[in-house]
Structure 1
Amino acid sequence: MAQGDRAAKLADRIREIVARRLEKGIRDPRLGFVTITDVRVTGDLQHASVFYTVYGTDEERADSAAALKSATGMLRTEVGKNITSRLTPSLEFIPDAIPENANLIEGLLAQARERDSAVEAARAGARYAGDADPYVKPREFDDAED
């Protein structure tokens, strides 16, 4: 398990380095407001997947993706300078689907609320199908018959 711990530590370190470098700024006007959400490193420490989100429109997301793709070499060099590893992992930038998933979940929750209110409305005017008290009761005997 030591290899997994090392990969997790390296992933955290890469996330810090890339985020700090993006915070300082890259001379690319296409780069928008980018947030690094997660980094995953393979077990052999050769490849790092960097997940990010971009605040803005779809066009700004596409422009930021192109800017990150063009800055991958510079960011890999920055990572290589700041880690203590024999090999510098290759970087791959992957847009994180957190905002889209959040919107999808909000839509599903709204549908569930609508269905719940429809069921509540149907229940308000509902009646039992049979008698009000469907259970069989034991016969009551008169004391006079004994």
Structure 2
Amino acid sequence: MAGQRTQQLADRIKVIVAQMLERRVKDPRLGFVTITDVRLTGDNQNASVFYTVIGDQKAVDDTAAALRSATGLLRAEVGKQLGTRITPTLAFFLDAVPEEARQIEDLLAKARESDERVAQQSAGAQYAGEADPYKHKDDESAEDE
């Protein structure tokens, strides 16, 4: 029961922070940011907010700086909208999952290309010896006769 409430609070914090970044935070350093996940500690006192940024490393760094400077405003709004006794502290973390997924996709594409090359090379290939080099019981009984 407590886990479900914690998840509901985390989901609510995710929505509040995303709306605030879209509507109220006017920092020019803030890039195209997406809040991907929020995880609360068991006592609901600390919230880890995960985000992604579209752009180069400068956009990522600028967005991180903008989020650090807006943390107080965001936490105040979270506390106001949640109405809980304790307002959780907010800590922002760049979500590495999309970047890792892209790297995995690149590796899979390379593996597919390699498989296709091997298939093309082996298309006209023939066995060096017999097609089936193993002895079978049928062969042994024929030799015995």
How much is the aligned-residue C-alpha RMSD, in angstroms?
1.9
Tell me the distance in 1 between the aligned counterparts of 2:129 and 2:141: 19
1:126 aligns with 2:125: yes
Tell me which residue corresponds to 2:54: 55
Deviation string 1:43-82 (CA, Å, 9 cap, x unpaired) is 1101101011111221011001000011111100000000
Tell me the distance in 2 between the aligned counterparts of 1:44 and 1:132: 67
- In the TM superposition, 1:1-146 aligns within 5 A as 2-132=1-131, 134=133, 136=139, 139=142
Tell me the distance in 2 between the aligned counterparts of 1:25 and 1:84: 20
**Does the residue aligned with 2:77 lie in a helix, a strand or coil?**
helix
Runs of 4+ in 1 over 3 A off after TM superposition: 132-135
TM-score by length of 2: 0.86
Tell me the distance in 2 between the aligned counterparts of 1:59 and 1:7: 34
Q: Which runs of 5+ in 2 are unaligned?
A: none
> What residue identity is the alignment partner of 1:66?
A
Tell me the distance in 2 between the aligned counterparts of 1:133 and 1:48: 63
> What residue identity is the alignment partner of 1:115?
S
TM-score by length of 1: 0.85
> What residue identity is the alignment partner of 1:57?
D
Tell me the distance in 2 between the aligned counterparts of 1:80 and 1:46: 11
Tell me which residue corresponds to 1:142: none
> What residue identity is the alignment partner of 1:119?
V
Percent identity of paired positions between Structure 1 and Structure 2: 59
16-25 vs 93-102, greater mean Cα deviation: 93-102
Tell me the distance in 1 between the aligned counterparts of 2:100 and 2:17: 24
Q: 1:132 to 1:49 in 2, by over 3 A?
A: closer
Tell me the distance in 2 between the aligned counterparts of 1:99 and 1:132: 47
Tell me the distance in 2 between the aligned counterparts of 1:6 and 1:66: 31
